[in-house]
Amino acid sequence: MSSTNDTPTATATATPKPPNPKQQQEQQQQQQQQSQPQQPNQKGRKGGRGGRGSAGGTGNKNHDPKTGRQITVSKAMSFVLRHAAEKEGLKMDAQGYASVGDLLAWRKLKSLKVTFPEIVDAVASSDKKRFGLLYLPPTSESTSTSTSTAPEATTGDITTTATETATVSALAAATTDQDPAHYFIRATQGHSIKSVEAAGLLERLTLDGDRSKLPATVVHGTFHGAWPLILESGGLRCMGRNQVHFATGPTREVVLARCAAAAAEKEEGGVVGEQQQVISGMRRDAQVLIYIDLVKALEAGCPFWRSENGVILSEGIEGRVPLEVFEAVVERRLGTIWERGAVVQEWPAEWSRRRNPKGGPKSDGSK
């Protein structure tokens, strides 16, 4: 009789199990995901779906080339140079210039540890050319950096071309000379500081000489809630700023053509074809466009000016740009609603109750 020990036994090394097809597939998928770059528009990412650079998140950097720090620095500069220089103790001359050295020593920029190259970058990268820069290196006769005399003595009778050229020259000089004491900076427009004089900051528009040099279009952008108040008050008021702001486009003809095209296609929205277009002097989301008869306004004694970055400005007559110089008013979906004192289309009552967007006009449409 054979012993049970003669029965074959299992070897010490177990035969490997065949791979599980499901596990194999999962491993392959994981390897593929790891090898691919992370997509910016993942669900749940801060700033909403799509990663389009909305206000709540970073989005795709290709859509907004500016970093959060650049925006912070630019906004701080705009605030103090337009509105708060006197309150903050920043010396400024009648043309709006302040020493870059003094600006860097201002408490807000000092706390942010802002550098001279960042100031230069803010000037160079501003899409609306918000800042003007002036290069005044010391001479053998004087090394003073006082803002009360230095810029005025150099610039003299100001013109838009001259000041724009001065900024270009200053930016070029900054590549080799990075001493902040040799530079002066100002906001090109938007001031509420009363000591800044328009004549020293802006180019006055007149009917003398070649009228072809006057802007063909002067338009103010506002919002639904503001238009009835503008009518009621008799025109555009400066509100907290020294002047009302105007842009040099788009033309009325272009807006009406796009409005008609949008209506034909049953579309809604802004001025068709202006996606992401930067227009100095007017917000992109303006709903109501007020076109000014510039020649009539100048003949009536209503002053108009042009800033270094091409914005048209007016302090009006006794603080108001009157209705009498309004050529036409266009709502971006309805078309022309008002022309030379006459109502063309009735204004929807519900629009008058709409609130203006953040940063828009508080009452009568001035920006």
- Return the SS3 of 245: strand
Instruction: Give the list of residues 6+ apart from residue 312 with CB closer than 8 angstroms, or none.
Output: 205, 215, 218, 245, 246, 247, 248, 281, 304, 305, 306
Q: Which amino acid is at 218?
A: V
pLDDT (0 to 100) of residue 284: 86
pLDDT (0 to 100) of residue 299: 97
Are residues 170 and 151 in contact, defined by beta-carbon separation less than 8 angstroms?
A: no
- What the block records as the tokens of 183 is 């530079």
Helices (H), the chain: 21-35, 68-79, 85-88, 100-105, 107-112, 116-125, 150-155, 160-173, 198-201, 227-233, 252-264, 294-299, 349-352
pLDDT (0 to 100) of residue 197: 86
pLDDT digits (tens, 9 = 90+) for 93-148: 989 999 999 999 999 999 999 999 999 999 999 888 899 999 999 874 444 444 44
Is residue 363 over pLDDT 60? no
- Return the SS3 of 273: coil
Each domain of the chain, given as residue ranges in start order, spans: 68-138+161-196, 203-268+279-353
d(C-alpha 245, C-alpha 233), whole Å: 17
pLDDT class of 17 with cuts at 50, 70, 90: low
Tell which residue, 331, 367, 361, 329, has the closest CA to residue 229.
Answer: 361
56 burial level (CB within 10 Å; 0-12, 13-18, 19+): exposed
On whether the 68-138+161-196 domain is CATH 1.10.10.970, my answer is yes
CATH number of 203-268+279-353: 3.20.170.30
The reply to whether 203-268+279-353 shares the fold of 68-138+161-196 is no
Tell which residue, 358, 364, 249, 361, has the closest CA to residue 311.
Answer: 249
104-108, 331-335, 349-353, range with the lowest pLDDT: 349-353
151-160, 286-295, 323-332, range with the lowest pLDDT: 151-160
pLDDT digits (tens, 9 = 90+) for 173-182: 999 999 999 9
Of residues 322 and 263, more confidence is placed in 322
pLDDT digits (tens, 9 = 90+) for 44-68: 444 333 333 333 343 444 445 568 9
Give the residue-averaged pLDDT of 276-288. 79
